Structure 1
Amino acid sequence: MNEGSTRGFRAYTSKHLDGLLQRGGVGDEERLRIRAVATVLPFRTNAYVVDQLIDWSAVPEDPIYRLVFPQADMLPEADVTRLASLLNAGARNAEIQAAANEVRMRLNPHPAGQLELNVPRIGQEPVPGMQHKYPETLLFFPKQGQTCHAYCTYCFRWAQFIGEPDLKFASDDVDSLVSYLKDHPEVTSVLFTGGDPMIMSEAVLRRYLEPLLEVEQLESIRIGTKSLAYWPQRFVSDPDSADTLRLFASVADAGKTLAFMAHFSHPREMESPIVEAAVAGILSTGAVIRTQAPLIRSINDDPGTWSSMWRRQLTMGMVPYYMFVERDTGPQDYFAVPLARAYEIFRDAYASVSGLCRTVRGPSMSATPGKVCVDGVAEIAGQKVFVLHLIQARDPELVGRPFFARYDPKAVWLTDLQPAFADRFPFEPATVQRLSA
């Protein structure tokens, strides 16, 4: 890949999709079907991804292309055919959007009870734009960070980007954030997420970060971002890149850890020299970069890809952190890897790297009760089972305690599993009644 450009950011959205697909030699009928999928799921990319990361001679199999461009078979055939017919007939936009919304509502737009179960309150009033799932960690969704430099086709927060107000959660109320933290001294870490907080300018980001530096209980501030992969210029050549790095340094100066939670889905995202420069710049501020990504069919579902990523990340000074399981939302049926295969991929990749890379954990499901890790497959008392444990849990008493599920080679998510050696999982209420499998 060529070295990243230092020119200004240029976004591509659905209005550019047809022209970009022609660049890849995609035929008329296939382009129409891809455009149909893009009426349901959001599409956004940029010139750096298009010009520097995608191998257009390898389309449609190129992994970065599949990472950011919708595919015609990502949704049920009947839905794609219906939407394509509407587009082809020149239907009114309102009619197309109504049909697209019907499909969206079947895709579990907010998994793990995000809108209902995690909402913090000040007094009796819910506080918008925050989630408090685990005692020590608060998630905050800055209003100006509810987009990304490019959207991943697998993104579990796709509902944030489709323009439906009822499906969004965000806030620009920093005072309420600080007030909530002071009322909840158990919170020691704030995670800024979205979207991508690094879409914000330094001046806007500063408005959110600086007040937290005065909150004594806070030990760490995290930023969840894909910017190192999709727009590393943000830390090297953007007009406010130097100011941004100085802002990062102020977190360390205040005695707190800035944890940069970087998403890398494929080794190619780290090949550009500008990524090396961006990583070096961030690390020079005293920040720690931890890396994570989901396991995605057709993009990174083999051990060699993961071991290559982890080795490269270690060489660059980053810390491998999580391999996630594709969440139960959006086009999960298209991207999901069965849990049994996910464990094999993780195990084989983990076995091929040094101990310094083995900071990584997974494969992990961010499910309603918490982060459930698949530790392995075993035979116990003549029964083949999955061995699991909760890395994080709504109930801290359950963290780290192993439990078992009946082996199912087709299971892709926690809800596909049945408990083994018990009538319920430890996170389920005693009143739960399960049907015998």
Structure 2
Amino acid sequence: MYPEYVTKLEKVKGISQEELKELQPVEEKYKFRANEYYLDLINWKDKNDPIRKIIIPSVEELEEWGLEDASREHSYTISKGLQHKYRDTALLLVNDVCGSFCRFCFRKRLFKNVGKEVVRTREIDKDLDYIRKHEEITNVLLTGGDPLLLSTNKLKSIIESINEIDHIKIIRIGTKTPAFNPFRIISDDALSNLIKKITNSGKKLYFIVHFNHPRELTSASIQGINILQNSGAIIANQTPLLHGINDNPKTLSTLFKKLSFNGIPPYYVFQNRPVMGNKGFTIPLEKAYSIFLESLEDISGLAKRPRFVMSHESGKIEVAALTSKNIIFRYHRSHNLDNYGKFFVFKRNPQAYWFDDYKELVEIYNYKSF
């Protein structure tokens, strides 16, 4: 059973004619896409419903703010569809379509410039040759868009080609399909068979899923997750911290608990990137970190595993601590290997949204020199 896709706001029953007129310029600038399953999760009586905010356009998206490519992914692009930012990990953009379009997506540029950055199955040989020649790469991440919007045959062709490379030990798939359309997984035995084949070969297949709010973890989505797990896949979850969606400590805590109850370790919580159209979803960094810390207070260690990070141009920068005067950062992942071991102490800036907003450096510590 596949839910029907909706690509025009006028087809969404819960939106009034007045709202449609107001949202027309947003829809013209940033594409809309959803499906009946996910739209049915919305409480249409609540204008501030968090599921509605995830998927339904808002006039706030027209506010001039942010960059098209806030993490400067183009700086690490080797060839069409291939990025190599971290020494052991290559990233393949294999699709520029998602089950639905999150309004806070940090790659909105892909949906505006269709085909510009994404590698098609028939074009992937050049990217695979690069991966073969670079034996330091042990992980390959398939992302986009959503790889699970590809047919299983196309996905199989890509994954099996990667799996044949001896030094690749982990293949990752970044996907929101278990939240947006779990029936893609439930209805496809071929996908389960593919996962079993890869895991039986001795390699590990990870699905990095995107549940942003506890209400997305429906019985159908949990059934889809169970199928992936029972086929041998390893699951982890990541989410940005989003204003009006999960920026309440109780909501975030409930999400972490519900994930852990279903065998899904929380992985990363991201500070929302300063991307065009995303201002309405952002929270000042220090406030966001405080919400994150508070959400961890009453949950078990198994649910308490996420790290609060920024996907900065230079790497994944983790917020390590706050004091009354200072904020402390460290590189969780870095393109420049010299950054590992360093703690960066800055004077606090309550108005900061991003690492670049901190100007007053207090000190740099390097634990390797202790």
| Structure 1 equivalent of residue 314 of structure 2 | 369
Gaps of 5+ in 1: 1-5, 77-102, 121-126, 427-437
| Structure 2 equivalent of residue 170 of structure 1 | 119
Q: CA deviation at 1:107?
A: 4.6
For 1:169 and 1:216, the matched residues in 2 are separated by: 25
Secondary structure of the residue aligned to 1:131 is: strand
Q: Normalized against structure 1, the TM-score is what? A: 0.80
In the TM superposition, what whole-angstrom CA distance separates every residue of 1:25-84 from its partner, at most 9, and x where no partner exists? 5352x3212111111112110111112x111122x21111111011123323xxxxxxxx
Correspondence 1:113 to 2:65:
no
Pick aligned residue for 2:16 from 18, 23, 26: 26
For 1:27 and 1:389, the matched residues in 2 are separated by: 49
Query: Relative contact order (C-alpha < 8 Å, sep 6+): which is higher?
Result: 2
In the TM superposition, what whole-angstrom CA distance separates every residue of 1:76-132 from its partner, at most 9, and x where no partner exists? 3xxxxxxxxxxxxxxxxxxxxxxxxxx7xx7521222212x1022xxxxxx211000
| Structure 2 equivalent of residue 429 of structure 1 | none
| Structure 1 equivalent of residue 265 of structure 2 | 319
Deviation larger for 300-309 or 156-165:
156-165
Q: CA deviation at 1:19?
A: 4.0
AA paired with 2:119?
A
Assess if the C-alpha contact under 8 Å between 2:90 and 2:141 holds in 1.
yes
Secondary structure of the residue aligned to 2:61 is: coil
Assess if the C-alpha contact under 8 Å between 1:146 and 1:170 holds in 2.
no
Q: CA deviation at 1:11?
A: 1.1
AA paired with 1:316?
N
| Structure 2 equivalent of residue 99 of structure 1 | none
Assess if the C-alpha contact under 8 Å between 1:391 and 1:400 holds in 2.
no
For 1:285 and 1:348, the matched residues in 2 are separated by: 35
For 1:187 and 1:140, the matched residues in 2 are separated by: 13
Q: CA deviation at 1:245?
A: 0.8
| Structure 2 equivalent of residue 216 of structure 1 | 166
Q: Does the C-alpha gap of structure 1 residues 352 and 399 become closer, same or farther in structure 2, counting only changes over 3 Å?
A: farther
Correspondence 1:134 to 2:86:
yes
For 1:257 and 1:313, the matched residues in 2 are separated by: 21
Structure with higher Rg: it is 1
Q: Does the C-alpha gap of structure 1 residues 68 and 260 become closer, same or farther in structure 2, counting only changes over 3 Å?
A: same
Assess if the C-alpha contact under 8 Å between 1:339 and 1:374 holds in 2.
no
Count of equivalent residues: 365
For 1:400 and 1:43, the matched residues in 2 are separated by: 43
Secondary structure of the residue aligned to 1:56 is: coil
Correspondence 1:390 to 2:331:
yes
Q: Does the C-alpha gap of structure 1 residues 419 and 285 become closer, same or farther in structure 2, counting only changes over 3 Å?
A: farther
AA paired with 2:173?
I
Assess if the C-alpha contact under 8 Å between 1:301 and 1:345 holds in 2.
yes
Secondary structure of the residue aligned to 2:199 is: helix
1:30-429 → structure 2 map (5 Å cutoff): 30-51=19-40, 53-58=41-46, 60-76=47-63, 107-115=66-74, 117-120=75-78, 127-142=79-94, 145-163=95-113, 168-172=117-121, 173-237=123-187, 241-270=188-217, 272-362=218-308, 364-379=309-324, 384-422=325-363
Assess if the C-alpha contact under 8 Å between 2:96 and 2:114 holds in 1.
no
Secondary structure of the residue aligned to 2:59 is: coil
Q: CA deviation at 1:206?
A: 0.5
Q: CA deviation at 1:399?
A: 2.7
| Structure 2 equivalent of residue 81 of structure 1 | none
Assess if the C-alpha contact under 8 Å between 2:342 and 2:365 holds in 1.
no
Secondary structure of the residue aligned to 1:42 is: coil
Assess if the C-alpha contact under 8 Å between 2:60 and 2:279 holds in 1.
no
For 1:331 and 1:141, the matched residues in 2 are separated by: 22
Assess if the C-alpha contact under 8 Å between 2:273 and 2:311 holds in 1.
yes
Deviation larger for 157-166 or 410-419:
157-166
Secondary structure of the residue aligned to 1:375 is: strand
Q: CA deviation at 1:400?
A: 4.5
For 1:404 and 1:169, the matched residues in 2 are separated by: 38
AA paired with 1:195?
G
For 1:266 and 1:351, the matched residues in 2 are separated by: 18
For 1:110 and 1:118, the matched residues in 2 are separated by: 12
For 1:399 and 1:151, the matched residues in 2 are separated by: 35
For 2:119 and 2:365, the matched residues in 1 are separated by: 33
Assess if the C-alpha contact under 8 Å between 2:66 and 2:279 holds in 1.
no
For 2:271 and 2:49, the matched residues in 1 are separated by: 21
For 1:400 and 1:312, the matched residues in 2 are separated by: 34
In the TM superposition, what whole-angstrom CA distance separates every residue of 1:330-357 from its partner, at most 9, and x where no partner exists? 2232111111111111101112211111
| Structure 2 equivalent of residue 123 of structure 1 | none
For 1:409 and 1:113, the matched residues in 2 are separated by: 25
AA paired with 1:392?
R
For 2:98 and 2:257, the matched residues in 1 are separated by: 26
Assess if the C-alpha contact under 8 Å between 1:229 and 1:264 holds in 2.
yes
Q: Normalized against structure 2, the TM-score is what? A: 0.94
Q: Report the RMSD for the aligned CA atoms in angstroms.
A: 1.8
For 1:163 and 1:114, the matched residues in 2 are separated by: 15
Assess if the C-alpha contact under 8 Å between 2:271 and 2:310 holds in 1.
yes
Assess if the C-alpha contact under 8 Å between 2:30 and 2:108 holds in 1.
yes
